[in-house]
Amino acid sequence: MQPLFSHSQALPPHYWLVNASVPPALLEGLDRTAAPVALLVDQGHIAAIERRPTTEAAQFDLDGATVLTRFVDPHVHLDKGDLLAMGLQPADTLMDAVAAARADYVQWTEDELRQRIDFGLRTALAHGTRALNTYCDWSEPDGPLAWQVLQASRDTWRGRIELLLTALVDVADFAQEDKASIISHAVAAGGGRLGLFVYPGADPRALRRAFECAARHGLAMDIHADEHLDPPVTQLDLIAELAREFGLGARTVCSHACVLQMLAASERNRVLDAVAEAGVSLVCLPYTNLYLQDSARTPNGDRATPRRRGILPVHEARSRGIPLAFGSDNHRDPFFPGGDLDPLQLLALATLTAQLDAPLRDWADTITTSPARFLGLAWDGVLRPGALADLVIHPGRNSAEVLGRVGSGRRVLRAGQPLAGTEARLPDFRELDALRQARVHRTTA
């Protein structure tokens, strides 16, 4: 029996992974509370799950290493990714970041978009992501250039990463019936999801029309809502009500919902109860919300230390059975100056921020099976006979070891084989320098 982590070549088509530690939510069959297990991989699929090998085949010892299914990231913004490398600066507030991105649209060429998006996808693949949902800022009624580029990327990346596309539309655009119709037709024609940015004070009639359009065109709803810390304003209860009314609860996802943290417990619980009853899913976004929420400066312009946490109340949501996931959100753009589209690093941050107990045992589903289900992926990410052997294997044996050294020694298997060559390596940031230079040349020519 060979140690897997010392095996640097392709694996045979038929083999056992022995002494694997698998979080219970990712495992079907056996006593899910006990470990380790042995996984039989045959022609890229899981053929059996046992306590120990039961048939003849090559054996690779994991020595208690953690096995996860490849990640599903439900909330990213590939169109804005790496705008800091193009010369933009981090913003102080959410609306400052929105304004900075919108002002930059005129600089987005097809080539730059394609390369920035490709850079993000290569990064996500190397970290172990198999599917992600990206938003596209909707700057034109019939769709922006970025929508076209993302559709092409969806085709180019098929078989490596499943790319879901969500139009991110200002809810005010649905105040006009003709504009709402054009947007909905364009999103449906592009095989996308209808996303909304719903700000405090948004017209509830526009939100209703958006749900009407989604129901008419068979579109899933994906809403940025309550991204602020100013109670008692909340839109989530109205969204839950509309989702129930139009029969879209199971196809509605809401992200952010930071303001729930600031509500009185009774009001917060009332809203979460409504969300649970409607069947709406929630996505928590620690990176961007921690960075932008409660951002302030002193009178002389210095940074002030934030006092409030911009994070959705995940424990209270989970206790109600609300489908829940963590998402990467922005990466290296005016909204957040870091991030690398790594769901495992994201889980480490969520553990710190939300004080998660036993994060791998109890919360691994939030970056794997839960988003796979509410995004409607063909495979829910649970290991069972017949499932794809799409795995992320980390040498750490428990939460402390994995999340303490997130990037150390990770192996990604796609259909039972390790990623190799450039797919296994994170792209070099220096690749983006030429895009910055091309911008400079365009503006000075």
Quote the distance between the C-alpha of residue 94 and its chain's center.
19
| Distances, alpha carbon 53 to alpha carbons 37, 60, 63, 336, 383, in Å | 9, 11, 14, 46, 16
The candidate with the shortest Cα–Cα distance to 17, out of 87, 80, 66, is 66
Q: Do the beta carbons of residue 190 and residue 153 sit within 8 Å?
A: no
Q: Which of 294, 214, 288, 273 is nearest to 246 (CA)?
A: 214
Closest CA to 221 of 201, 204, 197: 197
| CB-based contact 363:25 (threshold 8 Å) | no
Q: Where are the alpha helices (DSSP H) in 222-283?
A: 236-245, 265-278
Residue of 227, 245, 423, 431 with catalytic role: 227
Chain centroid offset of residue 206 CA: 27
30: tokens are: 């056996």
Is residue 360 within 8 A of residue 25, CB to CB? The reply is no
Residue 107, H or E segment: none
DSSP conformational letter for 25: G
* Complete DSSP assignment for 82-100: T-GGGT----SSHHHHHHH
Task: Give the Cα separation of 206 and 158 in Å (integer).
Answer: 35
Q: Please indicate whether residue 227 is annotated as part of the active site.
A: yes
How far is the C-alpha of 51 from the C-alpha of 62, rounded, in Å?
13
Separation between Cα atoms, residue 312 and residue 282, nearest integer Å: 9
Catalytic residues: 227
